[in-house]
Amino acid sequence: MVRTASFACVLGIALGLALPLAAQTPKVRKTIAKDEAKYERETKPVSRAKEVVKLGRAEYKAARQCVDAGNISGALQFLANYNDQANAAHDALDKMGLDAEKHSNGFRQLQISTRESLRQLRDIAGRVPFEQSQPFRALEKNLDALNQKLILELFPRQPGHKIEDEKKKH
pLDDT in tens, 61-73: 999 999 999 999 9
Burial of 5 (0-12, 13-18, 19+ CB in 10 A): exposed
Q: Please check the confidence at residue 103 and state whether its pLDDT lies above 80.
A: yes
pLDDT tops 60 at residue 13: no
Give yes or no for a contact between 72 and 14, defined as CB atoms under 8 angstroms apart.
Answer: no
CA gap 64, 69 in Å, rounded: 9
Distances (CA, A) of 34 to 29, 55, 58: 9, 9, 10
Q: So where are the chain's domains? A: 23-169
Residue 105 DSSP one-character state: T
Interval 78-105 mean pLDDT: 94
pLDDT tops 50 at residue 77: yes
Residue 71 and residue 23 in contact, taking contact as beta carbons nearer than 8 Å: yes
* 3-state DSSP percent of the chain in helix, strand and coil, to 5: 80, 0, 20
- Residue-level pLDDT at 12: 38
